[in-house]
Structure 1
Amino acid sequence: MTNTLSNVELPRKHAVSERGFLAVSALLFIASAATTVAWCDAMPAMPAMPMAWMPMCGQTWWGFATSFTGMWTVMMVAMMLPSLLPMLRRYRVALHMAGKPDVDAPTALASAGYFAVWGVIGAMVFALEAAVAQLEMTWPVLARALPAASGAVVLAAGALQFSAWKARQLAGCRAAPALGSTAWRYGLHLGMRCAGSCASLTAILLVIGVMDLRAMAAVSVAITLERLAPAGDRVARCIGVVAIVAELLQLASAALP
């Protein structure tokens, strides 16, 4: 059903809307990617220094948290938009097939709902990272245990790629859109499904470093491939193998004299 909807030829009056949709999406991706690169260049030491997760002089915790959450959401737009775009395209076609005269406003609402989920996740990430930084500063001995803990997270994330739960979440991301709910609720539902599907890869990104552009690019490609490739489950398992093997090799290299 999804493929059938995706291949429907839209009437000419909707073709103009589709071109506008693609143009706005391209501009949004370019702007979010450029902002993310600038952010990473301005804060290169955040993954390595606990103090980087503390408010700067004159900045409140609320202001710092809001700033990080906003930038995290912008980063997620750059990372998730390539895999989200085909989903929104199918949603627009489904709306058209249902006889909806306006598909642009529901598309915008669905997108806002989707990235609102990632904004909430960004706030949770900030709280977690700030708490870890506080613990590191209070008990420096914990800093020596973090590499082992990070390795365990990567191995667990790689193993999660093989789970039935991962397969269900991924299937939810790839499913045909259901039009029984509002656009906002559809976006929220899709965002929660896709956040669950990306949980393991997001965990790997956090371990490697939120400000690492190479890690962002690799995770973005992995998410896009497993969500859009014909055999998404197989791609997810291959990504899990790569994550586990890479981490085992790193642990073996660190253990060598």
Structure 2
Amino acid sequence: MKTLARSRLFAPLFVALTASAWAALWLWDAGPYARYLRHASWAELPLIGALCRAAPGASLTLAASLHSAAWLLMIAAMMLPTAFPLFETFARMTSARENSRALMLLLIAGYASAWALFGLVAHGFDATLHQLADRSPALLANGWLIGAAIVALAGAYQFSRLKQRCLDKCRSPLMFIAEHWRGRSARRESFLLGVRHGVFCIGCCWALMLVMFAVGTGSVGWMLALGAIMAIEKNFRWGRAIGTPLGVALLAWSAWIVLQNARIA
């Protein structure tokens, strides 16, 4: 009975966790510190800014910590729903174990670790582009080229074999667990299962996540739209049908950006 009750509680708790992450993002975006969810300097923040100026090296450390916290909150809101089938299947398969909760936490931690590493790479890439733009008047004046290129890349990636292979892995959670989890070294395997699934999830979604950087990481509306698209692609039967139209739409959007700016020039 306890096992059955625990299994039934998983979905509501998962929904509550995701809803809490979205609520936190919405409150952050609606509050006085909304700009710190985007690309502004964390050193400008009251109290934190004073600490950054007082302690050498604190600015970089605090900025990295706060950006990491913001990124993980975005991942919890956007990507956890896309991986719900895996988590729910794993919860049912391990519900009879006494340490089932610990194994689930390790699975989620592994998944979050993969996305955290991607976040570091993406933020580094984004920061490098901003530095290049600041040092190049021509690039700064034509920053739309970067946005158009990223949107075009996301559109082209929709048609790639790599994306389809990653989607196939994500759409078959039971087979994925059977392939990567034996339950012998349960804790280690649970964490690594989360990491592996996170890697395939990144393979599905990295290009669309770069679009989020291009349009603004602090826009809750964009995050909600992109999160919904990625969840549909991975978790619904008709998700396969939106891949091609989405790719065409992204390529058309990129072309529209180029045409609009070519007219102005």
Aligned match for 1:169, one of 166, 169, 190:
166
Which SS does the other structure have where 2:11 is aligned?
Answer: helix
Query: Using the alignment, how far apart are the partners of 2:8 and 2:78 within structure 1?
Result: 22
Determine if contact 1:173/1:193 at 8 Å carries over to the other structure. Answer: yes
Q: CA deviation at 1:34?
A: 1.7
Aligned to 2:78: 79
Compute the displacement of 1:126 (Å).
Answer: 2.5
Quote how far apart the aligned CAs of 1:62 are: 1.4
Q: Could you list the per-position Cα deviations for residues 209-240 of structure 1 after superposition, in whole angstroms to 9, with x for gaps in the alignment?
A: 11112211110011001001214433222221
Using the alignment, how far apart are the partners of 1:149 and 1:134 within structure 2? 13
Partners of 2:205 and 2:111 lie apart in 1 by 13
Per the TM alignment, residue 183 of structure 1 is displaced from its structure 2 partner at its CA by 0.6
- Return 5+ residue gaps in structure 2 as ranges: 53-58, 184-188
Cα pair 1:54 1:130 within 8 Å, conserved = no
Q: Is the contact between residue 157 and residue 200 of structure 1 (CA under 8 Å) also seen in structure 2?
A: yes
Of residues 185, 192, 204, the one that matches 2:199 is 192
TM-score (norm 1): 0.84
- Partner SS for 1:198: helix
Q: Percentage identity across aligned positions?
A: 23
Q: Across the two proteins, how many residue pairs are aligned to each other?
A: 241
Query: Amino acid of the residue matched to residue 146 of structure 2?
Result: A
Contact persistence 2:150–2:210 (CA under 8 A): yes
CA contact (8 A) 1:112 1:184 kept: yes
Q: Deviations over 1:83-133 (max 9, x none)?
A: 22222111222335xx64543221121011101111122222222222333
Match of 1:121 in 2: 118
| TM-score, normalised via structure 2 length | 0.82
Contact conserved, 2:11 with 2:88, CA < 8 A, in 1? no
Question: What is the alpha-carbon distance in structure 2 between the residues aligned to residue 121 and residue 253 of structure 1?
Answer: 32
Aligned twin of 2:20: 31
Structure 1 stretches lacking a partner, 5+ long: 1-11
2:87 aligned partner, one-letter code = L
Amino acid at match of 2:135: T
* Residue 144 in structure 1 maps to residue 141 in structure 2: yes
Residue 65 of structure 2 aligns with which residue? 66
Question: In the alignment, which residue of structure 2 is the partner of 1:9?
Answer: none
